[in-house]
Structure 1
């Protein structure tokens, strides 16, 4: 059965039905967490090049001068969506569905077996962000695709199934529900105030200083006022920009420094915690909008969502963002 995208006509929820994903391996159980993984257990290690598909893109990095391919982009062997799937929309009784056309790629982020970005230097992380940027620009050339989500899962509680440092990109034939929510709220705020909501948030955070953790001329890292989880962090450019494709080398360097430093501060505050990183860049048709502002969301997986969260769509967080931000600032100083 090919992949398809289904819509719940009652709730509006969207689900990607991806039968190929049922065959994914899970290597966390194969290797003890306190030992070095080897090529026998890690398909992303360079000693096992036949275990990954033909690369889509490779990239050099000054951090690994002895490796021609320091960063490698490959198709996901267990894709949620693929370019070969049919594009058509179809109905099943009252239900709407779309063919699962799209793309699902894996960025193998290091040529050696490294598991955490804190074990990489910031300039290499900037090269990873530059790779995300390149794939965004390339995938938007496919007129069937409307949206792209680069993300990174670390640890079993985040949904990760392989330990070797990697991130993923999924390109969709429609705008994702979360992106649709960001667009709707951004447009409504702009109609009322003639300003970008995230720009206003950044200005207020900078003025109050309560939730700011790191800042420089290019980027701010702060704990959102309504954090979904203790120690959640967002990072965004000071200058308004809807499209991550327009981020400069200076922006990517600053983003990499802030991201790596937040991960280090998390390790000091709460340990090497499982977490998710998600980049939000405007869907392709909205890349010039004044009401969308690209940003990186960093969410530590400190708790499991229960029935209330599933039922309400709201989150219960026992740690105020001001408290978390102050603690991280103190550790940074």
Structure 2
């Protein structure tokens, strides 16, 4: 079995089905094309094969294990997630959608912009990646001691603890949680923390605790209550994902690929739920967010245009003027 250079345990690894271990390499020397995907908070390990490249970043602090995995699939492949011990985790899907089969749970989707509390047993599990797909997963794993400490305050944590004690896989929420802006902000703060930062030992655990608290609150008190297989949940997720990822490519083809649905279903389903075309919403969200940033921050116009997905400032300025009736440079900042 491959020896991962991580000191944290338990650590979920991903067995690449159909690829012999002798054809897989592990390295800390990250090629240039992958470096933009690396976060400062932990050492990056590249797991490379002909079928898929995986960037692992794993760090432990105050008993929490903080993991980020990015998968670049070159072929249609199946992964077998595995840990020698049960893993209880708060999981966030940052990019792409992965179909999984968990022992004791069955089939489920991990979709971009959704989160959930999981217990994953040491049984056999499956996950499928599609050729050309890029998938990013962020999760925080708990120790048994942490679950015991948190259980009195949360029914979800009580369920996690129970399933962990029984070594059973479980998804302990009635449906997937939808990531809101505050969750993205906290994840970004965690991943952008440099190991040499003097306040790391104070701020990082605090941000992890805040992330958990916000996720638990959203999971237990959310007013959104729809079945996990309901298209309403899917398109509500897509709507929130767009709002929180305006700097990314958000064309119909890109979004459909991220959610593993057809462009036709994307366009029809979104309009049915929101009574507006998806691309009309993307344009409106970008420009209205830009206006809010101009009014409330000291960021340069060029920086704001990049943040809302316009790499070319001239294009941004023209679209802004067409939408608001004046160029962004004429906005009076507060």
Normalising by the smaller structure, the TM-score range is: under 0.3
Report which of the two has the higher share of helix: 2
Q: Which has the higher contact order (CA 8 A, sep 6+)?
A: 1
TM-score w.r.t. length of structure 1? 0.26
Per the normalisation by structure 2, the TM-score is 0.26
